[in-house]
Amino acid sequence: MASKLTRDGIVAQALAVADEKGIAGVTMRAVARELGVEAMSLYHHVKNREGMLDGMVDAVFAEIEIPDGAEASDGTTASDTTASAWRETLAERCRSARAALSRHPWALGLMDSRATPGPATLRHHDAVLGVLRRGGFTVSGAAHAVSLLDAYLYGFVLQELSLPFTAEQGADEVAEQIMPPEAAAAFPYLAELTREHVARPGYDYGAEFEIGLALVLDSLAAVRDAAGRASPTSSSLTSGA
């Protein structure tokens, strides 16, 4: 078994351990045990636990859809993102990232924490910036956009995963526990929200994602347009925006 060990195989097993037990359960010894080897065997392929975490985060980034125009794994390049396409391209990226983080909840606090990010991480960030720059954002505007998009994305997924109910379980019963009828007079607006929104049949908190994402993208479009009016010229990295 040890002779067949690879870095990718170790990272894949570490992902499985984290998905099952959380990030605290990922140790060199635990991963080695799942692989049927001694912990020392792993050090031939990963420097230490931090190196394993680097690989795990990179693997999660690799699961996120690379925005149109980014270099693919085979070295080809998709068609350039036009100024009018940046919005939907980034929306799809955020949807894909939300799905990946929902599969790997432990990754939420680690995604941008690595001092030695892997190639998939760097490729992803460069692709996102490329979409923004080709879409007409200034350098500083692209930085603001990435910050806002990721703050919304990570924050929403964190809240979504922390809720005391799921779409399948139904929020109405939990809402009644949180806001019982006798508390309605003391907290009228919470009671109104519970009655008129959360407790309605078919309520799904996840549906809020698209609403918030549209608002974020609307705001970024306004920033982009304002910067364009203030400075109509663009750098050579943009393509006709």
| Torsion region of 69: left, alpha or beta (phi above 0 gives left; psi -120 to 50 gives alpha) | left
Q: How far apart are CA 203 and CA 70, in angstroms?
A: 37
Q: How far apart are CA 59 and CA 78, in angstroms?
A: 22
Fold of the domain built from segment(s) 57-163+208-241: Tetracycline Repressor; domain 2 (1.10.357)
**Closest C-alpha to 90, from 234, 226, 218, 241:** 218
- Top-tier CATH class for 1-46: mainly alpha
Phi then psi dihedrals of residue 77, to 5 deg: -125, 130
**Closest C-alpha to 105, from 21, 10, 12, 13:** 21
pLDDT in tens, the chain (241 residues): 445 799 999 999 999 999 999 999 999 999 999 999 999 999 999 999 999 999 999 999 999 998 765 444 444 444 444 556 999 999 999 999 999 999 999 999 999 999 999 999 999 999 999 999 999 999 999 999 999 999 999 999 999 998 876 655 666 666 677 777 788 888 899 888 888 888 777 788 899 999 999 999 999 999 999 887 776 554 444 443 3
Q: What integer pLDDT is reported at residue 141 of this predicted model? A: 95
| pLDDT tens for each residue of 192-209 | 888 888 877 778 889 999
Q: Which residue has the tokens 């001694």?
A: 38
Task: Answer yes or no: are the C-beta atoms of 241 and 87 closer than 8 Å.
Answer: no
**Domain 1-46 shares a fold with domain 57-163+208-241:** no
Instruction: For the chain, give every domain's residue range.
Output: 1-46, 57-163+208-241, 168-203
